[in-house]
Amino acid sequence: MPDHWGYVVAAYGLAAVALAAYWRRLLRRDRELTTLRTRRPVTPRSQAAPLSAHPRPEPTPRPPLQ
């Protein structure tokens, strides 16, 4: 039977591309999280702004149906 090296290269090449793509995705996410952390330092819960300081207004109660 002939050796079919083309099929061997295709199989290993495809696997290498898939694994490298997933690895790069993990590294990219790692960098994104590092950037996010340096931009916005984590604030402890006790020092965070109180809930009442939220800019969104409190919901008003709906009037009862007549």
Partner 1 sequence: MTRSFGWLAAIALAVGLVMAFGVAPREATQGNVQRIMYLHVPSVWVAYLAFVVVAAASFVYLVTRSAGADRLAAASAEAGVIFTGITIASGSIWGKPTWGTWWTWDARLTSVAILFVMYLGYLLLRAMIEDHERASRYAAVLGIVAALDIPLVHFSVLWWRTLHQPPSLIKPGAPTMPAAILVALLVNFAAFTLLYAYFVSKRVALLRREAEALA
Residue 24 identity: R
**DSSP SS3 for 55:** coil
**DSSP SS3 for 13:** helix
Does position 51 bind partner 1 by CB under 8 A? no
| Residue number, 5 or 57, with CB nearest to partner 1 | 5
Q: Give the residue, chosen from 38, 41, 42, 50, that forms a contact with partner 1 under the rule CB under 8 A.
A: 42
**Cα–Cα distance measured from residue 46 to residue 41, given in angstroms and rounded to the nearest whole number:** 15
Question: Site size for partner 1, by CB under 8 A?
Answer: 23
Q: Give the residue, chosen from 15, 49, 51, 65, that forms a contact with partner 1 under the rule CB under 8 A.
A: 15
